[in-house]
Amino acid sequence: MNTINLDYISANPLLPEVQDAMIEAIKKNHGNPSSPHQLGEQATEVLEQAREKAARLINCASPQELVFTSSGTESINHAIKGIALAKAGKGKHIITSNIEHNAVLKSLRRLMKMDYRVTSVSVNEYGLVNPDDIAKAVTDETILVTIMHGNNEIGTIQPIKEIARITRKKDILFHSDAVASVGVMPVDVQDLGVDLLSLSSNQFNGPSGVGGLYIRRGVSPLPLIDGGAQEDGRRAGTENLIGIIGMGVAADIAFRERESRVEHARKLKERLIRGLKESIEDIIINGHPEFSLPNLVSVSIRYIEGESIVLMLDEKNIAVSTRSACASGALRASHVLLSIGREYADAQGTLVISFGRDTKESEIDRFLEVLREAVEFLRNMSPLYKKAKVI
Amino acid sequence: MYSEVVMDHFKNPRNVGEMKDADGVGEVGNPVCGDMMNIYIKVKDDRIEDIKFLTFGCGAAIAVSSMLTEMAKGKTIEDARKITNKSVAEALEGLPKNKLHCSNLGADALQLAIKDYEDKKAGKVKAPPKVEDKHEHTKGDACRCPYCDTDLGEAMEFCSNCGKDLGKEIFK
């Protein structure tokens, strides 16, 4: 029996077209794009074709505004640390939110050890940042605002355009972590008004191990990796050409399907939320009901713990993700769920269900059926459930 | 991740349920650190005649509870005292290292149930159930291992008593 993958946020399957292009690239033995001979020039051509495709997906003004990296995480590190180091002369204050990805959080924690100051604004019960809070947090020392686009745990989409208006007026750089949204829904860097934006190839069915960083023309973060003159001197190291080729093909397909993907995902999401509400009592759907990633649902199932639900589903060949502390290496509940006001026990029982272009309605239905059984089984042995149900 | 024995006890847990007329009850854990276990025992002629459990927790926590009840059932109180968290983990053919911290609390719950039984037998009045008192919210470390005192990660901005999030602006 095939596994039903409802954990796209952890790993997207590679599209067949992407696989074919990468296999072909492996067999072709491309040269090094930095070499001046024919092999090198051919490699450069392939590299720049991929850049054009990836840049078009986020509507860069020029393909040169897109730098290839090894991952969304590297892009985020590059944007935050690179701007912090480049702008240290102007100031050492950075503004972020309480629900950012660890790549952002830990980059900022690192900078704090180097005397940078960070203000983290809180979010409301839906996980939304209030742009006014950002405006209020700005000081003369502020050099960067970093706010994510779509949240990878609860799906909430932040008001990036509104925040960009503030940062532009105050002449502060603005980075957005759009790893969870690029390729899932249309993301237009010019329309959003950001100065830097991080993305990852795997979130739109490309290979992992490749990411991109949009750097608006005229913005110059300090490079994290020094060496050769690759990527116009912004990111040294011989390019991961096979991965980049795969990313280019995936970006091209994501661009062409940008509207149908959203429509497909929205339908599945509605079906899933309706099904959850109808079949299981005492649940909380997390995130904003409207401003949200179309391909992700976060649900807190009260009185039971997430890892045990994931194991029960896995027995029936269904893969989902949990934000339970018990399933994370860190053994603690998610800071995102705590930030939107979830109780500890409810955070422990939170599943993240994410899907993609090839997910079928029947797979959502099967998931709901198996989940219902698992919840009944686990609640039957839960002291919290028994306590709640005794009058 | 888990051994076959663990998965068997997780999928087919033995002795699940509440016992209304238990002779002894033991409760351990809290949802902040992940797991809660209740153990109920029925004692006859100094022997654990019946035992049940309720558990909120991960796969390991459920398997630990189930295995513990099998090990304790039919044992004399004296023998049941010798069951330790370590011996439960061994009977399960091992647990992942990080699960040895939070999830392996079954024997503790059993020992509390035995104490509760003996207190009742000795005529001691059971302490009234803990009232959710208004306490000061104090920032605490993340969960600490009760056995080896390992700090499981960086301090979090939550109350060490009830888990309430205090970190409105975590970097300030």
Work out the pLDDT band at B167, boundaries 50, 70, 90.
very low
Q: Does A329 touch chain B (CB under 8 A)?
A: yes
H-state helical runs in chain A: 16-28, 38-57, 72-86, 102-112, 131-137, 160-169, 189-192, 241-256, 258-279, 306-315, 335-339, 344-348, 361-379, 383-389
- Asked if A315 lies within 8 A of B54 by C-beta distance, the reply is no
Is A60 noted as a catalytic residue in this protein? no
DSSP state for residue A332 in the 8-state scheme = S
| Nearest-CB residue to A305 (from B32, B56, B167) | B56
- Asked if A308 lies within 8 A of B58 by C-beta distance, the reply is yes
Which of residues B151 and A109 earns the better pLDDT score? A109
For chain B, how many helices (H) and strands (E)? 6, 3
For residues B38 and A291, what is the distance between their CA atoms, to the nearest angstrom?
Answer: 41
pLDDT at A360: 97
pLDDT of residue A24 exceeding 50: yes
**β-strands A196-200, A4-5: how paired?**
unpaired
Is B33 noted as a catalytic residue in this protein? yes
pLDDT at B81: 95
Predicted ipTM? 0.86
Tokens of A165: 């208006």
With CA atoms as reference, the chain B residue closest to A381 would be: B54
Identity at A179, one-letter amino acid code = V
Identity at A34, one-letter amino acid code = S
In this prediction, residues A184-197 reach a mean pLDDT of 98
pLDDT at B35: 84
Average pLDDT, chain A: 95
What phi and psi, each to the nearest 5 degrees, are found at residue A89? -65, -30
B68-125 confidence digits (pLDDT tens): 999 999 999 999 999 998 999 999 998 887 777 667 789 999 999 999 999 999 887 7
Work out the pLDDT band at B33, boundaries 50, 70, 90.
low
Q: How many CB pairs under 8 A join A and B?
A: 115
For residues A259 and A269, what is the distance between their CA atoms, to the nearest angstrom?
Answer: 15
Work out the pLDDT band at A326, boundaries 50, 70, 90.
low
Q: Does B156 touch chain A (CB under 8 A)?
A: yes
| Nearest-CB residue to A382 (from B56, B153, B168) | B56
Give me the helix-helix angle, A361-379 and A306-315, nearest 10°: 120
A337-361 confidence digits (pLDDT tens): 999 999 888 999 999 999 999 999 9
Task: Give the 3-state secondary structure of residue B144.
Answer: strand
A86 CB-side CA count, 13 A: 17
| Angstroms from B159 CA to nearest CA on chain A | 11
For residues A212 and A66, what is the distance between their CA atoms, to the nearest angstrom?
Answer: 6
**From A172-176, B33-37, B44-48, the region with the lowest mean pLDDT:** B33-37
Q: Does B132 touch chain A (CB under 8 A)?
A: no
CB contacts of B153 in chain A (<8 Å) are: 330-332
- Interface probe with B: pick from A92, A93, A381, most Cβ of B within 10 Å: A381
Catalytic residue among A326, A338, A345, A370: A326
| Nearest-CB residue to B62 (from A112, A308, A315) | A308
pTM: 0.90
